Structure 1
């Protein structure tokens, strides 16, 4: 009990003398946030911190001999965001995961286009998707 009784006056004395007390590195908060972006986030801007994870999930569609498929999302600056994973599904959906590496701003982009089955035809319409990510 004597040790506990001395800890508070010691900490108070250190604070009054301007000496900062901090937790050991093993107690530091190392949890990374995860931000998920979907079609509804088209054109938005998000801010994250170094170490955070950004997941992009874009939904394609298939029907009437046509598949509306998304390209794999890419970041304009791989120094700011590094792509760590991606997957494409038969229905045209894609997912991509990025790790925030360094301070800066980058734009994640993807394009949705039509892929016809044999005997079917697509329009040449393309849909752009983008989100601006700032890491600080």
Structure 2
């Protein structure tokens, strides 16, 4: 009898504790996700309502300056870009909200400019792309 009582109390305690943890878990899941240069090529899954921040940094190396275009989305019914801009130093940023279920791509173009006289860029541009599966 004592064993069943303890089991019932334990089950009741677990039932009361688990639901109170769920809202915190939901809030953590919906915290803004940040995508950076190194996010290129990834496929990510986000729930509707998720906020996504894209923060791309310009790259300087070997006589080249790689700058970014403003990030864009391919399906506006899935991803809603609420803000987008390029920065004076060649970077780019966008704020995006997952608006509905489906698949969309976030893309930006990286363009090369020579910063050393006589140097030519190996390729003029390259696409940065992240696939978002929204649910």
> Deviating runs (4+, > 3 A) in structure 1?
28-31, 61-67, 119-122
Unaligned runs of 5+ in 2: 1-11, 13-18
Mapped pair 1:94 → 2:92: yes
Q: Distance in 2 between matches of 1:107 and 1:82?
A: 11
Aligned residue pairs total 111
Q: Tell me the residue number matched to 1:7.
A: none
Q: Tell me the residue number matched to 2:78.
A: 80
- TM-score, normalised with respect to structure 1: 0.68
Q: Which has the higher helix share?
A: 2
**Could you list the per-position Cα deviations for residues 31-65 of structure 1 after superposition, in whole angstroms to 9, with x for gaps in the alignment?**
43311111111100111111111111111135898
Q: Distance in 2 between matches of 1:98 and 1:33?
A: 13
**Could you list the per-position Cα deviations for residues 7-47 of structure 1 after superposition, in whole angstroms to 9, with x for gaps in the alignment?**
xxxxx9xxxxxxxxx9xxxxx77743311111111100111
Query: Cα RMSD (Å) of the superposition?
Result: 2.9
Question: Which of these two proteins has the greater Rg computed from alpha carbons?
Answer: 1
